[in-house]
Amino acid sequence: MSNIKGKIELITHPYSFNLLQARMDYARLTGTELVERPYWFKNIETKQLYYDLYACLGWPTEVTDSTNGLPGYAAIVGVVRPNDSITDPPDPLNANFQLLDEAESKDVPTLLKECVRLRGEYGFGVHKNLLRVWLGDPDRFFTPLALYNEALIAEGGERAAILISPPDDFYTQKIFDNYVRALRSTLLKDTQRFFFGHNYILQNRLREFKKDDPCVFAVGGLVFSLLNRVRWMDTLGENAFTVKEDENEF
């Protein structure tokens, strides 16, 4: 579980503390709530930069007497950071989303193994918050998850556990409709912000489209949450209490 070679490295601005202080001061002067962080992430293989990376999980659907249900789904999505340019500076508020990798399985333990593989490949541990939490349903398959986490914790300590947190508005009635609409809004031809890369599970399932599909639910919930709160940036209040002169404290 711990021998997965990662593709992601942490990039910290050489004057991160000073840069963050300057951004915070500017935010106060302009009344801006969101502040860009002084660090980001880089794919070692492709050189692509990311403001942040996120993990989402959709459990397999219920087995009935007429169907075996749909497989569960796990994915990593990156918020793309363009290369810095003096003439064309990046716009973090309207960053694109890139599906980096995905996996599916009807078997819960197998799906959890895929979660460990995916997070390991995409930088889990290079920053204290990176891929620490998966967005998904925290209430289903509670016992299999707890047993699997026991093994993870025994091998790698408390931080090795797979933590699951609900996407925004998860407990609202008929939320699947909102998640689908959020995802589709980022796929519109003229304003596309979500890109599939070389991944096909989500693409194919969107074409087939079945209600409460774990694949669409997982990514839709993640996109909905990202759009709602611009999670890859910090609020001024958060920064005011977390900034330290030691870059490792970010």
Does 250 fall in a domain?
Answer: no
Does 82 fall in a domain?
Answer: yes
Distances, alpha carbon 241 to alpha carbons 41, 190, 234, 250, in Å: 23, 39, 11, 11
Does 1 fall in a domain?
Answer: no
CA dist 189 and 85 (Å) reads: 26
Model pLDDT for residues 164-198, shown as the tens digit of each residue: 999 999 999 999 999 999 999 999 999 999 999 99
Does 235 fall in a domain?
Answer: yes
Per the structure, the count of domains in the chain is: 1
pTM strictly above 0.85: yes
Model pLDDT, residue 155: 93
Per-residue HEC secondary structure of 101-123 comes to EEEEECCHHHHHHHHHHHHHHCC
Does 33 fall in a domain?
Answer: yes
CA dist 127 and 100 (Å) reads: 18
What's the whole-number average pLDDT of the chain?
86
What is the domain extent for residue 137?
8-242
Does 231 fall in a domain?
Answer: yes
